[in-house]
């Protein structure tokens, strides 16, 4: 079935979707993005993704070509047009297309930003990963220094993912100065003696929307949280480990660089947090 996508003000069949060759998102990764989960035809934590999108745009002095209310309407229309029950919506906003390739930003009053959205179907609630867990490898973190901005500069994370795949693993944890920053497309955590340990917010990591919700629910469940860096060796010796992301929720990690975490089975805290997350997020889905 051909999906209906949204490109610069138009709903189009995906086979007819086009962007300018001068679009700065295409030429320079001068773009930001968000991925919002959909369950039961409803958006999960749209307010959180909207807030982070606005922050990313502000940090890059970029202007959205649509209002946030219009953006919500576009999301809902795509869900309806594609009869999407479970999966997600990818959104990308670029600085737009000037008359030629140039390192100087075009004036936003003269050049409107570009915008693209498309849906994808994916099972989220019934996940085999939660039963088996994932294996990760560590990779040196060589990304640019503003990882807190959700840009489309994803070449290095893609390289890290390919290294993991070649090693027979699902994920790569990025390491800077001996400490884990985050996964290639998620936030990373370990659990030791009942305490969740995860790196504190800074420009070193993405300020995960799912991360914020998971930590909030953990506090409400009276689970101790320690926000600080941790090493790969510390993670290998942990009682459990997991990652969080918009479409993965809370996924247990059972092996790190070939070393089995605890008994090699998904831990109870990661599982419980996923259950709480899904239950609470469905209450506020729109």
Q: 204: closest CA among 179, 225, 224, 223?
A: 179
**Active site includes 150?**
yes
Fill in the DSSP letter of residue 169: -
CA distances from 190 to 261, 263, 275 (A): 10, 14, 18
Strands 187-192 and 4-7: unpaired
DSSP string, 76-136: HHHHHHTT--EEEEEEEEE--B-SS--SSPPPTTTSPPEEEEEEEE---SS-HHHHH-EEE
Q: What does the block give as tokens for 213?
A: 């919700």
> Is residue 34 helix, strand or coil?
strand
Helix segments in the chain, DSSP class H = 24-28, 46-59, 68-81, 128-132, 155-166, 209-220, 232-236, 268-284
Is residue 212 within 8 Å of residue 47, measured between CB atoms?
A: no
CA distances from 130 to 48, 87, 246, 268 (A): 24, 17, 15, 11
Q: Work out the number of other CB atoms within 10 angstroms of the CB of residue 166.
A: 9
Q: What does the block give as tokens for 223?
A: 């689970």
CA 207 – CA 30 distance, rounded (Å): 19
What residues contact 125, with CB distance under 8 A and at least 6 apart?
Answer: 39, 86, 278
Instruction: Find the catalytic residue in 150, 176, 265, 271.
Output: 150
Residues catalogued as catalytic: 150
């Amino acid at each position: 079935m051909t999906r209906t996508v949204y490109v610069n003000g138009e709903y189009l069949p995906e086979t007819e979707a086009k962007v300018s060759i001068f679009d700065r998102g295409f030429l320079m990764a001068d773009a930001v993005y968000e991925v919002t989960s959909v369950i039961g035809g409803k958006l999960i934590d749209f307010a959180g993704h909207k807030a982070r999108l606005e922050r990313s745009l502000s940090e890059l002095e970029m202007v959205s070509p649509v209002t946030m209310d219009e953006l919500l309407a576009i999301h809902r229309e795509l869900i309806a047009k594609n009869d999407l029950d479970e999966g997600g919506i990818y959104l990308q906003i670029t600085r737009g297309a000037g008359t030629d390739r140039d390192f100087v930003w075009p004036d936003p009053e003269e050049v409107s930003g570009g915008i693209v959205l498309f849906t994808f179907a994916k099972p989220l609630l019934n996940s085999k990963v939660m039963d088996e867990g994932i294996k990760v490898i560590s990779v040196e973190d060589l990304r640019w220094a503003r990882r807190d901005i959700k840009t489309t500069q994803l070449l290095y994370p893609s390289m890290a993912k390919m290294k993991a795949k070649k090693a027979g693993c699902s994920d790569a944890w990025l390491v800077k100065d001996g400490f884990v920053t985050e996964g290639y497309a998620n936030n990373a955590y370990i659990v030791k003696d009942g305490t969740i340990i995860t790196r504190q917010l800074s420009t070193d990591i993405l300020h995960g929307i799912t991360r914020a919700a998971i930590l909030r629910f953990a506090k409400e469940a009276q689970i101790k949280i320690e926000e600080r860096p941790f090493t790969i060796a510390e993670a290998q010796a942990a009682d459990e480990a997991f990652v969080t992301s918009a479409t993965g929720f809370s996924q247990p990690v059972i092996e790190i660089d070939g070393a089995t975490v605890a008994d090699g089975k998904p831990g109870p805290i990661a599982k419980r947090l996923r259950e709480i997350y899904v239950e609470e997020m469905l209450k506020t889905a729109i």
